[in-house]
Amino acid sequence: MRIRYILNNDKRVSTFNTFIKTEYPTLLTEKKPDIFLIAGGDGTMLRAIHDTIDEKIPYLGKAMGTFNFLLNSFDNDKDVIDKILNDEIKLHTFKSHAIKAMFNGKKIGEAVNDVILGEKITGYHSFSLSTKNGDLRNFELKGSGICISTPIGSTAFNFNNGGRILPLDSDLLSITGIVCNRFLNDIIQFDEVRIKSNGAKIYLSNVESEILNEKNELILTKGSEIEIAFLNKQEFLERRIEIGHRYRK
């Protein structure tokens, strides 16, 4: 299996970067990789996916961050990399879809975790939401913002905002309001969502994009398929269950 390592500037991975440059320099220049290798935390993984999503290649993460939900914990770096290169390790993967964001008729990006509209907790915006299947029809509310989350992102900001954790293989989105005047906590089909606002910023998995005003409309649809690899997929699924139970007594 061919690997391309994606460098990043996180100080926590500087030693691993040096290790790759010294022991596996060809991983930095691999032209036809079968998989991307990323070291860091969940944010690093999301940024890497955001930057390379069009290449449609699976991602394998080495956990060196804080939460490390989407990454693998291993210390025997040389052994693991050699076995992957020699196809001696069976990688377990799961697939999900990003949210494709269209603005003024143009694609502005894809969100792996979520699309968040707003700016700050003290902000105040108006929103109007409609879905293709009619679950929401010009639903209007005001507040700090809204969050539209994918199944993979439902354990992140969405969950902390009171949203429900979605099954990974589901064709659903979770949508929640952030300090709003009307209650919004819905599960909707992963279909077309149209949103209007009066100046809310658009964030795609924490990456700031455009500003949505009265003259524009944000259209969200199903985007690219994402494939994330694990050395032990069961550990990932168990961590997901633990997150869902952390507020239970």
- Tell me what pLDDT residue 237 has: 80
Burial code (b: 16+ CB inside 10 Å, e: under 16) for 34-47 equals ebbbbbbbbbbbbb
- CA-nearest of 203, 176, 218 to 117 is 203
Say which residue the tokens 């690899």 belong to.
229
- Tell me what pLDDT residue 23 has: 97
- Per-residue tens of pLDDT for the chain, all 249 residues: 999 999 998 899 999 999 999 999 999 999 999 999 999 998 899 889 988 999 999 999 999 988 888 899 999 999 999 999 999 999 999 888 999 999 988 999 999 999 999 988 788 999 999 999 898 999 999 999 999 999 989 988 999 999 998 988 889 999 999 999 999 999 999 999 999 999 999 999 888 889 998 889 999 999 999 999 999 888 878 877 777 666 555
Residue type, 59: Y
- Tell me what pLDDT residue 236 has: 79
Distance (Å, whole) CA 186 – CA 214: 24
Residue type, 43: G
Q: What is the pTM of this model?
A: 0.85
Q: 77-85 and 14-23 helices cross at what angle (nearest 10)?
A: 50
Burial code (b: 16+ CB inside 10 Å, e: under 16) for 82-115 equals eebbeeebebeebebbbbbbbbeeeeebbbbbbb
Q: DSSP letter string over 36-47?
A: EEEEE-HHHHHH
